[in-house]
Structure 1
Amino acid sequence: MAEEYLSGDFTACVRREFPALAHKAYLDSACIGVAPLRAVRAVTDLVQGMQYCPAESGTAMHGRLNELRALTRPLAARLIGAQTSDIALTESATHGLKIALESLPLGAGDEVLIPDLEFIQMGVMWRQLKDRGITVRTVPHDEAGRIGVDAARAELTREVKVLALSSVQWTNGFRADLAALSELCRKRDVWLVVDAAQHLGALPLDVRRTPVDILVCGGHKWLCAPFGTGFLYLNPEARPRLRRPLAGFFAARPPARTWGEAFLRPDLTPVQDYEFSEDAYAWETGGTGNYPGAVGLSAALSLLLELGPQHIEDHLRALTDHVTGGLDRLGLTVVSPREPRHRSGIVTFTTGRPTADVALMGALLAAGVAVSVRFTSGVGGVRVSCHLYNTLADLDALLAATADWQRRPRSGGRPGAPTPPRRSAAAQIVRQRALIDALDDDLMGLITARGGVSRGIRRSRLEGAMSRTDLAREREIVERFHHRLGQDGTRLALELLRMCKGDT
């Protein structure tokens, strides 16, 4: 299995999209994912294009930006087996949860259940409903760190109106039995709200087979998208029973074909009745959106769909098998579940002492292996996040650095000695070289893009019966480079002009 999914087209695509990770063991996607090259270029192209305002007017440009943002919804829908009309774009999982809290028809005396292993944000947000007379209770985990269906069932009293949980828990990677929980909630008429921030991008999820009422997901973890992105799924059967939050005019239907055309009508007034769609986008903020983030999320989603969610899960299964076996051989305790149906891309292990876990994390970071330490309700340890861009070599680096830390002498009952300066410096050089490689790749991409634009200008000049070259413009470019970089800038500008002329 490992060899099958660490070779071929899958690996070639991953290497092409994540060049900066070729020499870096990044195992912290549960905190922040790494953006693929296509997402970086999508954001860069959009932002750079804004300085030219390529549309004929600001109004046309704003409309174009809204159209680009809207292209993200169908990709998010495909990822979870939903319809485009079921998707609203958000800034984060937190933003999606905020919309859920504002939309659910809850009142005084109602109760909300969350697992006691939940990400702190889940508790922080639901707890704020206390002023409305709404109580939050927890479902306890068992001795293996699992949140069982029977445990949830035992807590479902008549007052419970919402079961809210992460489909994958952030500390130990426990993957909930969403199908069974969904069936349980439907029988009890309980709202099922799911935070899939540690799930989507790493594991498949199909809302047609596993119905949920509301699902939220941030973009910057396993989806590998820029910060300030995410999406919200609203079950079409649930939407008629939800309150629609206050929103801006982009969430309403324009009184003309487009809002740009509506602005031209002399009868347009700010105070009138506006019609809102029943589609999920009516739950969006309805103002100017995070357009760079949206195109970045769209590009990242396109990569996940291209690779295939099932292939990604198979790849992660091979990686987690490998690291779990290695940790067992080192005599460390794997906290994460081992049953296939409860596994995820997260493998958490512990030395048996939280202080030693933190010390080990420091040694791993110094060795160039990025991991985290997380605890909730007494469950946790060193958290290893295996994602699509990771390889067996990354995990071997983790295991080797961990074994090295175990061999170091202890003094006074304290964890191993600090990493020697030479080793720390070597690890830093590896990280810096990875950054150089990424920057070089960006430079080559920009030079290629510049050549394409330059050749387009030359064709336009020929079609307009103008001279092939504008010498005044070339002098302007050389002077600008010289002003910023001196004589080296002059030489660089001349070489760029030569490379980008091409054949017309």
Structure 2
Amino acid sequence: MALHQALQRAVRAEFPSVGQAAYLDTACIGIAPRTAVRAVRDFVDQVHQVPPDSGTAHHGRLNRARDAARPRVAELIGAQARDIALMESATHALNTAALALPLASGDVVAVPETEYIQMGVTWSQLESRGVKICRIPHEDGSITVDTIDRYLDFHVSALALSSVQWTTGFRADIASISELCRERGIMLLVDGAQHIGAVPFDVSRTPVDVLVSSGHKWLNSPFGTGFLYLSPGIRPRLNRPLHGFFAADPPAATWGEAFLRPDTDPFQEFTYTDDARAWETGGTANYPGGIGLSAAVDLILAHGIDEVWARVFSLTEHLLEGLLRTGVHIVTPRAVEHRSGIVTFTTGHNASDIALAERLSASGVAVSVRYSGGMGGIRVSCHWFNSPADVDRLLATVSGAPQARRGRRPAARGVRSPAQRSTASRHP
């Protein structure tokens, strides 16, 4: 469990408050590092002052500062800067992608039934356009390649899933799923909100058409941030649901120069870039968020995502080994290839899970209780700023709590049994 010396110094310098409590809830909200906070404060100080030249020049500087987030995000996921659109959240990115995909009446989008609520909300809205939703069942919280294979028939146009499930921490085999989709001509959209920033994800090695993520969780960015990755191959096929002029090519060297020309016509035909930036709102943006995201990602890049993941994995391994001795049921899979920064366990009853989470909170340990599709429990999130002492503090509280019979799981209303799933229609 020894922490690399450089990483240890970074944690102490960048996250000075982490020793005050055992914060094991990054899957809900991350902690912004001092570097990101300083960048946002510098922005606030800057906009508090009268610009040294003009508002137009000032606006240009802010745009360039925000734009710096694109190459940093791209480097983190093995992409190019032109593949990245900056978003306000994973929800913003997901909705933008859903409206952009070339889906027509009768097309089917396959979505696992344990997904985050927004995934269901987003795709369900397309049903008014005749798009159908195919719900893929889980196997004890796991979304396996074999199960997906059975549901990706010729009716399916797109598959949308999380690379890491938000309730169980199950990490899907995106490489194999990507291969399945490519073989069948199915568009693949991945929600990486519980993945990016903790576990490596390289789109150059694991091709996906679309990747969305929030910034305020594992990337430790301020709120109101996220990104949308659009592969070079998918962009020519996409619609643009929004048309902001900042996403178009200016009719002069810059938009500031275009505003100076008497012949500037608001109704002229503008040419939109073929970069992913064309799918941003194209208006005045969330500058402090983008600037904070840039700084937060830069910190991860400075130490390396592989080292961050090694730290996260070590902490989750320590947690799993300790939980095995407490008598709770561990929901998260033990297989290394399906691990993430999330470990979920249950006492066997929803009410006692909630009570134990409250007991943990009272003892200075922050966790969440999360369920979806009948799976879930007490969700623990270990990130690179956590320590073995944080995990030990949780284990001490869990060990001292009355436990339900090992192996029992909480029942969830409306969840189909495996037998019911096998007889259910694949498509609505």
TM-score, normalising length: structure 2: 0.93
- Tell me what 1:303 maps to: 299
2:332 pairs with one of 313, 323, 336: 336
2:228 pairs with one of 208, 232, 235: 232
Percent of aligned pairs with the same amino acid: 57
Count of aligned pairs: 404
How does 1:324-403 map onto structure 2 within 5 Å?
A: 324-403=320-399
Q: Which amino acid is the alignment partner of residue 205 of structure 1?
A: F
- Tell me what 1:264 maps to: 260
Contact 2:108 2:131 (8 Å CA) reproduced: yes
Where structure 2 has 5 or more consecutive residues not aligned to the other structure, the ranges are 404-428
Question: Which runs of structure 1 show a deviation greater than 2 angstroms over 4 or more consecutive aligned residues?
Answer: 404-407
Pair 1:208 & 2:217 matched: no
Q: Aligned with 2:109: secondary structure? A: strand
Q: Aligned with 1:22: secondary structure? A: helix
Deviations 1:294-336 (A, max 9, x none): 1100000001111211111110111011010111111111100
TM-score, normalising length: structure 1: 0.79
Pair 1:43 & 2:40 matched: yes
Q: Distance in 2 between matches of 1:12 and 1:341?
A: 29
1:148 pairs with one of 135, 144, 148: 144
- Tell me what 1:178 maps to: 174
Deviations 1:153-189 (A, max 9, x none): 1011211101000000000000000000000000110
Deviation at 1:55, TM superposition (A): 3.5
Where structure 1 has 5 or more consecutive residues not aligned to the other structure, the ranges are 408-504
Deviations 1:100-143 (A, max 9, x none): 11111111111111111100110011001111111111111113
Deviations 1:465-489 (A, max 9, x none): xxxxxxxxxxxxxxxxxxxxxxxxx
Q: Which amino acid is the alignment partner of residue 54 of structure 1?
A: P
Deviation at 1:74, TM superposition (A): 0.2
How does 1:285-324 map onto structure 2 within 5 Å?
A: 285-324=281-320
- Tell me what 1:76 maps to: 73
Q: Distance in 2 between matches of 1:406 and 1:395?
A: 19
Deviation at 1:54, TM superposition (A): 3.4
Pair 1:88 & 2:85 matched: yes
Q: Distance in 2 between matches of 1:109 and 1:159?
A: 8
- Tell me what 1:169 maps to: 165
1:126 pairs with one of 123, 128, 152: 123
Q: Distance in 1 between matches of 2:338 and 2:52?
A: 50
Contact 2:242 2:280 (8 Å CA) reproduced: no
Q: Aligned with 1:88: secondary structure? A: strand
Deviations 1:271-298 (A, max 9, x none): 1011111111011100000001111000
Q: Aligned with 2:400: secondary structure? A: helix
Q: Distance in 2 between matches of 1:160 and 1:23?
A: 49
Deviations 1:15-36 (A, max 9, x none): 1100011221000000000000
Q: Distance in 2 between matches of 1:191 and 1:259?
A: 35
Q: Which amino acid is the alignment partner of residue 159 of structure 1?
A: H
Query: Rg: which structure is higher?
Result: 1
Contact 2:345 2:379 (8 Å CA) reproduced: yes
Aligned CA-pair RMSD: 1.1
Q: Distance in 2 between matches of 1:270 and 1:215?
A: 33
- Tell me what 1:274 maps to: 270
Deviation at 1:238, TM superposition (A): 1.0
Contact 1:53 1:61 (8 Å CA) reproduced: no
Q: Distance in 2 between matches of 1:245 and 1:123?
A: 20
Q: Aligned with 1:383: secondary structure? A: strand
Q: Distance in 2 between matches of 1:385 and 1:262?
A: 49
State the structure with bigger RCO (CA 8 A, min sep 6), 1 or 2. Answer: 2
